[in-house]
Amino acid sequence: MIPPQEASARRREIEDKLKQEEETLSFIKDSLDKSDQLTKNMVSILSSFESRLMKLENSIIPVHKQTENLQRLQENVEKTLSCLDHVISYYHVASDTKKIIREGPTGRLEEYLGSMAKVQKAVEYFQDNSPDSPELNKVKLLFERGKESLESEFRSLMTRHSKVVSPVLILDLISGEDELEVQEEVSLEHLPEGVLQDVIRISRWLVEYGHNQDFMNVYYRIRSSMLDRSIKGLKEHFRKNSSSSGVPYSPAIPNKRKDTPTKKPVKRPGHEHDFRVKHLSEALNDKHGPLAGRDDMLDVETDAYIHCISAFVRLAQSEYQLLTDIIPEHHQKKTFNSLIQDALEGLMLEGENIGAAARKAIGRHDYSAVLTVFPILRHLKQTKPEFDQVLQGTAVSTKNKLPSLIITLENTGAKALEDFADNIKNDPDKEYNMPKDGTVHELTSNAILFLQQLLDFQETAGAMLASQETSSSATSYSSEFSKRLLSTYICKVLGNLQLNLLSKSKVYEDPALSAIFLHNNYNYILKSLEKSELIQLVAVTQKTAERSYREHIEQQIQTYQRSWLKVTDYIAEKNLPVFQPGVKLRDKERQVIKERFKGFNDGLEELCKIQKAWAIPDTEQRDKIRQAQKHIVKETYGAFLHRYSSVPFTKNPEKYIKYRVDQVGDMIDRLFDTSA
């Protein structure tokens, strides 16, 4: 059992806790009551606030809508005012811009174009909104006047600032192609940069707003004139500044000739005394009167034309570059085609005139003129790829001009070659033009010189000949085919020359002089072939040509040596009388010996007198023939003299034994020497 005291204490403790719990419960109830009261108060406040918000919303929304409408109205009013201001401004454009447009764009292009833009907009406005308005006519007239002023300014700028390119600058431009050293590229400034930009601005405005193409015609006419005058100025530069050799002055081309034949007389082997043989053009022209200086003039004209062709290509390229900045793309080719016509036509016409002059000269058998065709034709062919590139996109008739000229000149050159070969074969001059001393004939030197001229233009001459072939292989114009044709042609000329020389040699009554004539000509031909590349060209189709000429030369030497038989036959052992040593000669035997001495002496003197006037210009050949003849005659005469000098066939031996053996040799050494 629990003691009473502990039970009492336990009860008090429980009662105290219960009392505390009751107090806590009472506090919680009070708090809940307060919370309920607060909740009721908050609900009441919120309900009141909601009611007020609803009232506010019902009041504000109509005000907001009304304000929005007012703002829209205000914006509309502002826009209307702005539109009115804009519209009104169009009515003032004419008066605002009239002064600027009347004064023109010179010196203030930017401002002028700005005014033209305002007028353009005014025209568009009135056309769309008030087509019957008198203001439309005003701005239209103003616009047209402004457009005319821009066209006039375009023309003025192009006219005032377009300059002819100086000849020296053109030569600098085209000489850069041939310089081995790297140098700064020569550029052309056709228009100052500021002017160019103004021209570009005007052209773009005229195309975009002015709907005008007339300025393109103005452009091409002005630039066409500059191009044509530049090329003509270069040609005139050649004429005025050419030295006697036809070389124009240019800092870029010091003493430089381009694509022209080197017309220098070929020195003949040993022709110390052959003053009759002249330069090719001089010799051929002698038949038709004096043409002093004509050859140099041909050189100048040829050089000028060749340089003008190159100048056209370079200047046309430069013109096209300028044109692309100024002319609209879809009009560029057409404008360029028109721009180059005058200059191109002039060059083509000049080329045709050169061909026509050459054809006339060929008709007169003057073949020096054709030498102008070869360098020109070669240069045209070399330049053709650039020509084609420059003329790309131009009219077909424009593109065909150069090929047509090339064909014309090729036909002319081929005709000249053909006629020259025929003329060599049929040259009629025999008695009147034959060298009395049997030296090289003028025809031979001219023929060889002409063939040597062809060496500078082997490919061109071969192509000329190939162009006349009808076979399919000829159309290929291969280098090997052209070379064979040229070789065949040279062999033909040499063959014709040989036939003609044989015919001419018959003019001489003395077979020995005829032999000397043929010897000199054959020897000159052979030496000329060997000293140049002609021998290699001949060998392409005729391997034995060199050997054949040597045989001909030797044959003529032998023919010449037979002329001495009438001298040596007098003293030849086979024709001498036989007698016994120590036996007194009979009168008949003495007379025969006297006749032999007299016949030898007279024959020797006669031949030496005649043949001393003959000529063998080649020193080597002259010495060779002298030595051979001297050896034969001295040996025969020495034997004869040894046999009869001690024989008492006469009382006056000095009358018959006139020459010692060494004297006979000296006499033969003076043969073929007109100065002796």
CA distance 437 to 616: 9
Residue 495's pLDDT is 94
Q: Is the confidence at residue 331, as pLDDT, over 80?
A: yes
Q: Is the confidence at residue 473, as pLDDT, over 60?
A: no
Q: Is the confidence at residue 282, as pLDDT, over 60?
A: no
HEC letters along 270-313:
CCCCCCCCCCHHHHHHHHHCCCCCHHHHHHHHHHHHHHHHHHHH
Q: How confident is the model at residue 603 (pLDDT cuts 50, 70, 90)?
A: very high
Interval 202-236: pLDDT, tens: 999 998 887 777 899 999 999 999 999 999 999 99
Residue 48's pLDDT is 85
314: nearest Cα among 172, 456, 121: 172
Q: Is the confidence at residue 269, as pLDDT, over 60?
A: no
Residue 298's pLDDT is 62
**Average pLDDT taken over every residue of the chain:** 82
**Percent over 90 (pLDDT), the chain:** 43
Q: 185 versus 215: which is more confidently predicted?
A: 215
Half-sphere exposure at residue 223, Cβ-oriented, CA atoms within 13 angstroms: 28
Residue 119's pLDDT is 83
Decide if 111 contacts 155 (C-beta within 8 A).
no
- In sequence order, the 6+-apart residues with CB closer than 8 A to the CB of 343 are 224, 227, 228, 231, 312, 315, 316
Q: 577 versus 45: which is more confidently predicted?
A: 45
CA distances from 639 to 23, 568, 576, 598, 648 (A): 191, 11, 11, 16, 17
Half-sphere exposure at residue 549, Cβ-oriented, CA atoms within 13 angstroms: 23
Interval 97-115: pLDDT, tens: 788 888 888 888 888 888 8
Average pLDDT over residues 477-505: 89
Q: Is the confidence at residue 580, as pLDDT, over 90?
A: no
Q: How confident is the model at residue 281 (pLDDT cuts 50, 70, 90)?
A: very low
Residue 286's pLDDT is 38
CA distance 17 to 527: 159
Average pLDDT over residues 251-266: 35
Residue 435 — φ and ψ, nearest 5°? Answer: -70, 125
Residue 180's pLDDT is 41
Q: 321 versus 274: which is more confidently predicted?
A: 321
Q: Is the confidence at residue 541, as pLDDT, over 50?
A: yes
Q: 162 versus 53: which is more confidently predicted?
A: 162
Interval 354-407: pLDDT, tens: 999 999 988 888 887 788 899 999 999 999 999 999 999 899 999 999 999 999
